[in-house]
Amino acid sequence: MTHQNIAVIGCGYVGGEAAQIWRGRGHHVTGTTRHPERLNSIAQVAQKGVLLKGNNESEFASLIASNETLLLTIGADRPEDYDSAYRQTAQIFRHLALEMDAPRRLIYTSSAAVYGDHHGRFVDEESDLLSKTEQGKILIETEHLYHSLTELGWHVTIFRLAEIYGPGRELSKRIQQHQSHPFPGNGEQYTNMIHKADCATAIDYVLRHHLEGIFNLADDDHPTRKELFDSVAAKHHLPAPTWDPKLTGLHQGNKRISNHKIKSEGFTLKHPHRLLD
């Protein structure tokens, strides 16, 4: 594979890991952030760091013009930031793609939250997107906007990521943080998770193998949240978590996410089974 100029827009938890892989492969990587204090960490994984000032169209145009591949791993700091972080960014890319006539390779990390509630059934990339939350609807529209770039000659890959865990997001820390208050729900929903390392290696894999389209990214395990957290608590000698069905959690919608499609393309998970830290 020839060396490329790659922009990682949102060079954070997952984007930084992918940037480090690509820099090691000899690509020239530009990492972006909206937070000045993160520029030092970007310098450790990318040759160039760029501070973005909101959704500045000229800054995005410059990144498109100077990079063959763009990875968008932007996250919203708060629920009220979803529209600007996701849909508005995608709208800008659509507008610039129409104006610039410079098709690029784009990889976008979406969320498996778009599936909504499938009552515990397995979902694959052809399943209906049933999310009823405002944030979920924004994510669905964002996917549609990025996918529409294929009509303009862009090569687009969309990942629907399960709940990400790994160093810094250990499951035991989540339990420790809830020692004084219960988790929301009853713990009976299935879990869908993916390790940080598998997110980054999958992103690298689709670039190296020129894969396009939509791919779920989740590990092989689907214990209920109660089963999983009880196992983690037992391993770390922590009290078993408590639950409150009156509270609403972030991870709404009961489903099990199939990873068959990405594996059928030859991708192998480093952590197919859930790590208990």
Buried b (16+ CB within 10 A) or exposed e, 33-62: beeeebeebbeebbeebbebeeeeeebbbe
CATH topology for 5-167+194-221+255-264 is: Rossmann fold (3.40.50)
DSSP-assigned beta bridge partners for residue 8: 31, 71
Q: Tell me, what's the pLDDT at 145?
A: 98
Per-domain residue ranges for the chain? 5-167+194-221+255-264
Terminal-to-terminal C-alpha distance of the chain: 35
Name the pTM for this structure: 0.96
Angle at which helices 57-66 and 89-100 cross, to 10°? 60
Q: Tell me, what's the pLDDT at 147?
A: 98
Say yes or no to pLDDT of 248 above 90: no
Say yes or no to pLDDT of 271 above 90: yes
Q: Tell me, what's the pLDDT at 94?
A: 97
Q: Tell me, what's the pLDDT at 54?
A: 81
The 10s digit of each residue's pLDDT in 152-173 is 999 999 999 999 999 999 999 9
Q: Tell me, what's the pLDDT at 77?
A: 84
Say yes or no to pLDDT of 231 above 80: yes
The 10s digit of each residue's pLDDT in 106-140 is 999 999 999 999 999 999 999 999 999 999 999 99
Q: Tell me, what's the pLDDT at 75?
A: 87
Can you read off the two tokens belonging to residue 251? 């991870």
The 10s digit of each residue's pLDDT in 172-185 is 999 999 888 999 99
Given pLDDT bands bounded at 50, 70 and 90, which one contains residue 251?
low
Which among 195, 177, 182, 206 has a CA at the least distance from the CA of 267? 206
The 10s digit of each residue's pLDDT in 41-95 is 999 999 999 999 888 999 999 999 999 999 999 988 888 899 999 999 999 999 9
For the chain, where are the alpha helices, taking DSSP H only? 15-24, 39-42, 57-66, 82, 89-100, 134-147, 171-177, 196-208, 225-235, 260-264
The 10s digit of each residue's pLDDT in 8-33 is 999 999 999 999 999 999 999 999 99
Q: What angle do CA 41, 45, 50 make, to 5 degrees?
A: 65
Q: Tell me, what's the pLDDT at 29?
A: 98
Provide the residue type at 219 as one letter.
D
Q: What's the mean pLDDT in 202-223?
A: 98
More confident residue, 94 or 253: 94
